[in-house]
Amino acid sequence: MTRPIRASIDLSALCHNHAVVRRHAGSSHIWSVVKANAYGHGVGRVARALASETDGFALVELDAAVALRKSGITQPILMLEGFYDADELSLFVEFGLTAVVHCVEQVMMLVEASLPVRLPVYLKLDTGMHRLGLSTTELQDTLKALRKSSTVSDITLMTHFADADEPRGIADQMQALSTMTDGLDLPLCLANSAALLRFPDTRQAWVRPGIMLYGASPFPQMKSAADLGLRPVMTLQSELIAVRDLAVGDRIGYGGAFVAHQPMRIGVVACGYGDGYPRHAPTGTSILVAGKRTRTVGRVSMDKIFVDLSTIPEAAIGTVVTLWGEGLSADDVATAAGTVSYELFCALANRVPVTEV
Ligand SMILES: *Cc1c(COP(=O)(O)O)cnc(C)c1O
């Protein structure tokens, strides 16, 4: 027997979610965002599953981009942080990658390079997030330099929203963008999942959805993934490996973080933070045992968590436990743990075997 934890990746759900993206995107082209190993779902399998559906793939890791090309992906590939060093530009040429250019240093590397072909460029503008992107004062000179450079072909303008999922929204950044791009006739790429779903104006030449492809909500406090018509792609399951009865006053787990105030039955699940389950998930976090919703109790340890079996008398060693996915949104677990589904997916540990369904 192997340890019972496993993740399954539902590729038909992924394609369904892509169709939801397509419906919202209208005539915009879609960069499917597959950074961080496709948010933990496996960049190779996600790209393969979406290859006949999507218009391009966006990520940050050069090795993963090269691997996608070698595996036969022919769509455009967008490198969201561009290149980190002028030496990498030859790989952008060899593998046909599109670079985001977000700072003057990258502009200089690009225009000073000698390349056998011209590269398409996504020029990233800082419209208020103050993370990556050129300022208003840098934009005009940069455009001049790129336009007369022999290493640059098509230029697309992009920006990223800081509050597309927040009450604040995008109005200030859209205003800044319109000021910065006044008089420029270049294609735009603006929307992440939250903007695509909430602000149809952000659908421009291209959109950049990530999280919604994986079936989680970009704004779980406003709308659940199910409300958005999305299906979970990753389901993380394990089994009970012990069941025990507690007497009043019994403490469980590290620090005795949970104490039984009445006689109760608990189960021990073979899953912990070493598998990617969030250590900060408190007592009361939702979990499914034999398909029924119950709660975790006590502190999450590296390999194990505890579940309350009071309402599930049939539970025994070997009973299936769902940590998140089909039947229990990762958003619920993430919210309980004070984080976001993105982090749960990305944290899926290497030791968890993955199957495709
Ligand atoms: C990660 C990322 C996205 C996708 O964001 P989601 O919230 O997952 O839709 C889009 N654009 C950029 C620049 C990103 O880094």
Angle at 264 between CA 263 and CA 266, to 5 degrees: 150
Catalytic option among 35, 124, 304, 342: 35
Pocket probe for ligand 1: among 32, 80, 341, the residue whose CB has the most ligand atoms within 8 Å is 80
Task: Collect all residues with Cβ–Cβ distance below 8 Å to 140 and sequence separation of at least 6.
Answer: none
Which residues partner with 296 through β-bridges?
Answer: 307
pLDDT(302) > 90: yes
Q: Is 35 a catalytic residue?
A: yes
pLDDT in tens, 255-287: 999 999 999 999 999 999 999 999 999 999 999
Residue whose C-alpha is closest to residue 340's, from 252, 222, 231, 216: 216
Angle at 28 between CA 96 and CA 71, to 5 degrees: 30
Which residue stretches of 203-244 are H helix? none
User: Confidence class of residue 1 from pLDDT cuts 50, 70 and 90?
Assistant: confident
Cα 64 to averaged position of ligand 1 atoms, centre (Å): 17
Cα 192 to averaged position of ligand 1 atoms, centre (Å): 5
Average model confidence (pLDDT) for the chain?
Answer: 97
Pocket probe for ligand 1: among 29, 41, 192, 202, the residue whose CB has the most ligand atoms within 8 Å is 192
Catalytic option among 124, 214, 254, 342: 254
* Cβ 304 under 6 angstroms from ligand 1: no
CA dihedral 152, 155, 125, 100 (to 10 degrees): -60
Cα 161 to averaged position of ligand 1 atoms, centre (Å): 9
Q: What domains lie within the chain, and their CATH numbers?
A: 11-214 (3.20.20.10), 234-356 (2.40.37.10)
Task: Give residue for tokens 């982090």.
Answer: 343
> What secondary structure does DSSP assign to 212-266, as a single string?
GGGT--S-TTT--TTTTT----EEEEEEEEEEEEE-TT-EESGGG-EE-SS-EEE
* Cβ 80 under 6 angstroms from ligand 1: yes
Pocket probe for ligand 1: among 208, 341, 343, the residue whose CB has the most ligand atoms within 8 Å is 208
Return d(Cα 87, Cα 26) in angstroms, integer. 38
Q: What is the mean pLDDT of residues 196-213?
A: 98
Question: How many CB atoms are closer than 10 A to CB 238?
Answer: 23
pLDDT at position 313 is 97
User: Confidence class of residue 180 from pLDDT cuts 50, 70 and 90?
Assistant: very high
* Cβ 235 under 6 angstroms from ligand 1: no
Q: Is 214 a catalytic residue?
A: no
DSSP designation for 201: G
Backbone angles phi, psi at 234, to 5 degrees: -95, 125
How are the residues of the chain apportioned to helix, strand and coil, as percentages rounded to the nearest 5? 30, 25, 45
Return d(Cα 330, Cα 346) in angstroms, integer. 12
pLDDT in tens, 139-177: 999 999 999 999 999 999 999 999 999 999 999 999 999
pLDDT in tens, 208-254: 999 999 999 999 999 999 999 999 999 999 999 999 999 999 999 99
Against a cut of 0.95, is the pTM above it? Answer: yes
Q: What counts of helices (H) and strands (E) characterise the chain? A: 11, 18
* Cβ 17 under 6 angstroms from ligand 1: no
pLDDT in tens, 30-78: 999 999 999 999 999 999 999 999 999 999 999 999 999 999 999 999 9
Q: What is the mean pLDDT of residues 108-136?
A: 97
Fill in the amino acid letter for 335.
T
